[in-house]
Structure 1
Amino acid sequence: MRSRVHGRAVPVERAEDVAASNLFGGRPLEVTVNRYAALAHEPEPVELGPDGPKMWSNNLVALYETDAELVAAVLPRPLEPTEPLVRVNMARVDLPNMAEPLQAGTFSVACRHGDVHGFYDLLMLMSTEGAVVGGRETYGEPKKIGRISLERRGGGVGAEIVGVMRRNGVDLVEIRGTVAEVLEPGPVAERFAFYYKFLLDPQGGGFDHDPTFVHVRRTQEDRLVERVEGSITLRDSAVDPVADLPVRRVVSILFTENHQTQTGTIVGTVPGEWLWPFRHQRYDGLMARLAPATTG
């Protein structure tokens, strides 16, 4: 590969070229593709379902009751509240071609759209940029970079489990417990989540277009299910106010090993004014461009 310095072509070495040439007896490699202009290799189509080969993950899932009026207050139309339930999920996913597992955490409330019951995610933390970008741009998921730890000490009944969702220096959600019972895995289950896809008008004061309303269907196949007896602790944060939905009663805590798939469907659009009061759920506070642009 060559670059020009003061009109003179000079060779440029890239680390990946050097490594690759060493694999082939030190022969130099010719770079023939401008990788910003085209893919060097088109990805092969996936033949084994929406997520390809099965990828198993460890999950710590807690359900707790909170105040009904608080759940109703955080739901944009056309979502409606059902039971006053909050669902917390912390996961460690082994992904191919990654040096470390993906860490993920979700904080959501129960709701419905018509006859479809599911959850609305208020916070989704991911350990990698790729997971954040893909989820936000494809499904409208409110993903952000964060740290999630899921630790287990021991096996079977009596094992100690600790899960923590952390962002901006705050341990937002902490679940601590002990495995009390090993349960029989049930059949493949499905659940739904609801998201809004939108972009902000660069001139301020609104959206580019009416937000898109998305239904996401997830299936879950368990190979291990354990009932956990434990506690849920919420901590306050200015930009991630999970503590505003206090724990009134812990309904259940489960530790599972499972494989999940995810597919999404656009079911329509919603008027921008329905979502505008809730736009801060997707961002850390109200950024300057969320207000109408000024001239001067």
Structure 2
Amino acid sequence: MGYRRTAEEIEEIRATLRDVQFVGGESLSVDFLTRPEIVRAILPRELEPGDEPRLTAQVSRWRSNCVGDFAASAIYVSARHEGVAGDYVLTMFMDNDIPLLFGRDLYGEPKKIGSSSLHRNDGHMTGVLERRGNRLIEIEADLGEDRGPTAVLGRNFNVTYRLAPDGSALVGSPTLMMAEFDQRTTVFRKGPATLRLLGTVHDPLDELEILESRDAVYVETGMRASCVPVATMDAGDFLPLALGRSDFWPALVTATLPA
């Protein structure tokens, strides 16, 4: 019965989650610098800012061995935990619910539904994120020649937590998670880019002030992913950031009951 997994199905699930693979990926990203006080405000207290106040805007698409095909966008913040460098995932958007539930429930990624698209005309490339009819990320890049294959181990910091039904507190303590991505890149291209971040009351990307935008990076890549808990966090301190991961519910009122 599908709603009660058999022992054999549970073992299949475990085998898949022990060897998570994202395949045939294409990613267009731009690093930019912002004000240090913005970085400190959007990072959990348990994370230290990275060597510079760097954020990354990314638009990508993938295949996988666990969640099907999907397109995604994200904003990352350079950070450290106990000397280990990585990127805190500030916000992330999937084009369907399967990768959304996987990343949010298992890794603590702050995912929402959004439409991401990549288009390339020779060396010119665009990446766009839209959500609920609003553009949030626009990248335009002119890419140089392929610089050949590379290998890199990437790290992301995320948070798992449970919000009380009335939004007044977190239930229990949040957990800081660290995901690692063993990445093998077959194509690597860079070039000058323009980046625009726009916003709504639900997704205020426009509050991330761009002081300096760097070259775009385009890769074709695949990677294996794993994730482990690394620290228990302060619930009261993280509550404002937890609520910032959700839409602003007071702005979604369409009707009310009579007084």
Shorter-chain TM range is 0.7 to 0.9
Given that 1:64 and 1:250 are in contact with CA atoms closer than 8 Å, whether structure 2 keeps it comes out as yes
CA distance in 2, matches of 1:165, 1:245: 16
CA distance in 2, matches of 1:287, 1:87: 29
The alpha-carbon deviation at position 190 of structure 1 amounts to 1.0
Query: Paired residue for 2:60?
Result: 91
State the identity as a percent. Answer: 28
Query: Paired residue for 1:103?
Result: 71
Given that 1:87 and 1:107 are in contact with CA atoms closer than 8 Å, whether structure 2 keeps it comes out as yes
CA distance in 2, matches of 1:210, 1:47: 28
Query: Paired residue for 1:77?
Result: 45
The structure-2 alpha-carbon separation of the partners of 1:255 and 1:206, relative to structure 1 and needing over 3 Å to count, comes to: same
Query: Paired residue for 1:29?
Result: none
The alpha-carbon deviation at position 49 of structure 1 amounts to 6.7
**Long gaps (5+) in structure 1:** 1-33, 289-296
The structure-2 alpha-carbon separation of the partners of 1:141 and 1:148, relative to structure 1 and needing over 3 Å to count, comes to: same
The alpha-carbon deviation at position 162 of structure 1 amounts to 0.5
Query: Paired residue for 1:135?
Result: 103
Given that 1:218 and 1:260 are in contact with CA atoms closer than 8 Å, whether structure 2 keeps it comes out as yes
Q: Which amino acid letter does the alignment assign opposite residue 184 of structure 1?
A: G
CA distance in 1, matches of 2:229, 2:33: 30
Q: Secondary structure at the match of 2:93?
A: strand
CA distance in 1, matches of 2:31, 2:53: 10
Q: Which amino acid letter does the alignment assign opposite residue 140 of structure 1?
A: G
The alpha-carbon deviation at position 169 of structure 1 amounts to 1.3
Given that 1:142 and 1:281 are in contact with CA atoms closer than 8 Å, whether structure 2 keeps it comes out as no
* TM-score (normalised: structure 1): 0.77
Query: Paired residue for 2:131?
Result: 167
The alpha-carbon deviation at position 80 of structure 1 amounts to 1.4
Q: Who wins on radius of gyration, i.e. which is larger?
A: 1
Query: Paired residue for 1:23?
Result: none
Query: Paired residue for 1:189?
Result: 152
Q: Which of 232, 241, 244 is residue 204 of structure 2 equivalent to?
A: 241
The alpha-carbon deviation at position 281 of structure 1 amounts to 2.5
The structure-2 alpha-carbon separation of the partners of 1:48 and 1:147, relative to structure 1 and needing over 3 Å to count, comes to: closer
1:35 aligns with 2:2: yes
CA distance in 2, matches of 1:104, 1:40: 33
CA displacement 1:116-144 (0-9 Å, x = unmatched): 11111111000110111111111110011
The alpha-carbon deviation at position 47 of structure 1 amounts to 8.2
The structure-2 alpha-carbon separation of the partners of 1:170 and 1:106, relative to structure 1 and needing over 3 Å to count, comes to: same
Given that 1:221 and 1:258 are in contact with CA atoms closer than 8 Å, whether structure 2 keeps it comes out as yes
The alpha-carbon deviation at position 94 of structure 1 amounts to 2.7
The alpha-carbon deviation at position 202 of structure 1 amounts to 2.8
Q: Which amino acid letter does the alignment assign opposite residue 219 of structure 2?
A: T
The structure-2 alpha-carbon separation of the partners of 1:278 and 1:287, relative to structure 1 and needing over 3 Å to count, comes to: farther
Q: Which amino acid letter does the alignment assign opposite residue 94 of structure 1?
A: R
Q: Secondary structure at the match of 1:205?
A: coil
Q: Which amino acid letter does the alignment assign opposite residue 117 of structure 1?
A: A
Given that 1:60 and 1:255 are in contact with CA atoms closer than 8 Å, whether structure 2 keeps it comes out as yes
1:151 aligns with 2:119: yes
**Long gaps (5+) in structure 2:** 252-259
* TM-score (normalised: structure 2): 0.87
CA distance in 2, matches of 1:132, 1:48: 15
Query: Paired residue for 2:162?
Result: 199
Query: Paired residue for 1:31?
Result: none
CA displacement 1:75-128 (0-9 Å, x = unmatched): 111111121111112111134698x84101111111111201111111100011
Map residues 255-266 of structure 1 onto 2, 5 A cutoff.
255-266=218-229
Given that 2:32 and 2:55 are in contact with CA atoms closer than 8 Å, whether structure 1 keeps it comes out as yes
Please provide the CA RMSD for this pair: 2.4
The alpha-carbon deviation at position 273 of structure 1 amounts to 1.1
Q: Which moved more, 1:139-148 or 1:227-236?
A: 227-236
CA displacement 1:168-187 (0-9 Å, x = unmatched): 2111010011112321322x
The structure-2 alpha-carbon separation of the partners of 1:204 and 1:175, relative to structure 1 and needing over 3 Å to count, comes to: closer
Given that 2:170 and 2:236 are in contact with CA atoms closer than 8 Å, whether structure 1 keeps it comes out as no
Report how many residues are paired.
248
